[in-house]
Structures are given as C-alpha cells and as structure tokens.
C-alpha cells in the first residue's frame, strides 16, 4: 500500500519484498527483527499488561538467508538487537538508553549493530513515558518515533532510500514521513500491519505540515 508518495508498506514476508529489488537498491536498512527472547509473551512495564494474543513471532530469530538478502539489497544497515545475532565485527554500535524507572521490568537499554565505521553512539531517548507523548502502544516492542528520528539524523542523508523489513508499530514510517525520506517497509502479521497503517495514516492526516524536507537540516541541531 502506498500511504504517501514516499511511504510504501506491504503486508507480506520480508524475503518476498527483498527479492523484488536489485543489489544495493536501498541506501539504508533500519530493521528490528525478532530477538528470539519471547517478547510476544512477556508482561510489559509493571507486569499488568500482557501482550500474548496467541502470537509466537518472537520465538525464533531470522536465519542466515534473511541477513544475506538484507546485506544484498542495502548499502548500509542498522539492526536492532544485533547482540542476539551472528553479525560481522563492527565498531559502529548504537546504544539506546531508555531512561527507564528502576521499578519497571524493561531493560535499561538496547543495542543496535550498524555497518558504519563510526565510534559507538548513545541515543538518550526516554521510553518509560513515551506512550502519553505519542499515542497508545500497539506493539509489544514498539520504539519511539523520536528514536527513529535520531537514527535518521545521525546516519541518513536527504534522498536516501530507507528499508524496514519488520514494520511493527510503524514508528519508522512516521519518522520518515516527517523528515521527507522515502521508505519501503513490510509487516507479516496482518493485525499489526492494519494497526500500523491506521496509526501512520492518522499521523499523516493531522501532521501534514509538521516537518518539511528542508526543515530536516534545521532539526539536526536538536540532537547535537
């Protein structure tokens, strides 16, 4: 589905999506694959909300064929949960500091592997209180829009084609829309796909003038 001129999201297996594109078609892949830690069955926050709806999407991690295709179709990659996968050696790791309250059951941060030959960078983006600042959480591993904006600010250039093979809640699509990036993404789970499409469309409808591509450069100073 083409949500906007630059945002295209499909309900399909990511291997089918990537098979349609030639080598190096995407400038940057920002992906959040299943870590294999059973997140779909975890209790979130203080343990009052369970996300287990019979879904087992986080029981297994992607196989080598997935990563082979990901590296084929994209020139650079940022892979959340990279510490759970057998990936090449990199010094360009990213640490997301969630600034969570000690009483919560969330981890205090997450790691992302990157293909960039850069020193480790830390994103200090609040997690524990972000729901009230954006909208209701629709996915158990939903990441803040602000986190994806931080990634685009630090690692993407205007005109880059972005790929996401595990759309989840759609936060990356909202970030790409606000900053004027072209995004191709897919989500296999139909329920999450429909919920993310609704969320993205709602954001686009009410935030048409939130940011322009020209404002992207100005916004960079906010994260420096």
pTM for the complete prediction?
A: 0.83
Q: What is the pLDDT of residues 29-60, one digit of tens each?
A: 999 999 876 555 555 444 444 445 556 655 67
Task: Give residue 207's pLDDT.
Answer: 73
Cβ contact 73:21 at 8 Å: yes
Task: Give residue 154's pLDDT.
Answer: 96
Q: How far is CA 91 from the centre of its chain?
A: 21
Q: How far is residue 89's CA from residue 24's CA, in Å, rounded to a whole number?
A: 21
Q: What is the pLDDT of residues 173-212, one digit of tens each?
A: 999 999 999 999 999 999 999 999 999 999 999 776 555 5
Residues contacting 92, CB < 8 A, separation 6+? 113, 114, 115, 116, 117, 118, 119, 120, 121
> What is the average pLDDT across 169-176?
96
Every domain of the chain and the residues it spans: 7-223
Give the E-state strand segments of 46-181 in sequence order: 49-50, 74-80, 94-97, 109-114, 121-124, 161-164
* Structure tokens, 16: 């089918």
Q: The domain 7-223: what is its CATH number?
A: 3.40.50.150
CB atoms within 10 A of CB 133: 10
Q: How far is residue 153's CA from residue 149's CA, in Å, rounded to a whole number?
A: 6
Give the three-class secondary structure for 26.
strand
Cβ burial, residue 189 (10 Å; 0-12/13-18/19+): middle
Backbone region of residue 18 per phi and psi (left: phi > 0; alpha: psi in -120 to 50; beta: other values)? alpha
């Amino acid at each position: 589905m083409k949500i906007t001129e630059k945002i295209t999201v499909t309900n399909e297996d990511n291997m089918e999506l990537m098979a349609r594109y030639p080598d190096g078609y995407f400038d940057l892949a920002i992906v959040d694959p299943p870590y294999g830690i059973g997140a779909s069955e975890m209790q979130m926050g203080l343990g009052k909300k369970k996300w287990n709806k019979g879904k087992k999407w986080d029981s297994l991690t992607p196989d080598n064929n997935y990563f082979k295709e990901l590296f084929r179709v994209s020139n650079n990659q940022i892979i959340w949960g990279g510490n759970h996968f057998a990936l090449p050696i990199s010094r360009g790791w990213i640490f997301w500091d969630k600034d969570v309250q000690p009483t919560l059951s969330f981890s205090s941060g997450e790691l992302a592997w990157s293909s960039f030959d850069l020193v480790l960078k830390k994103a200090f983006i609040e997690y524990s209180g972000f729901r009230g600042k954006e909208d209701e959480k629709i996915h158990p591993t939903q990441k803040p829009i602000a986190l994806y904006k931080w990634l685009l600010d630090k690692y993407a250039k205007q005109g880059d084609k972005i790929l996401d093979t595990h759309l989840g809640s759609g936060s990356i699509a909202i970030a790409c829309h606000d900053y004027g990036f072209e995004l191709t993404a897919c989500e296999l789970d139909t329920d999450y796909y429909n919920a993310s499409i609704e969320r993205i469309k709602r954001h686009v409808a009410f935030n048409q003038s939130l940011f322009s591509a020209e404002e992207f450069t100005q916004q960079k100073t906010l994260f420096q």
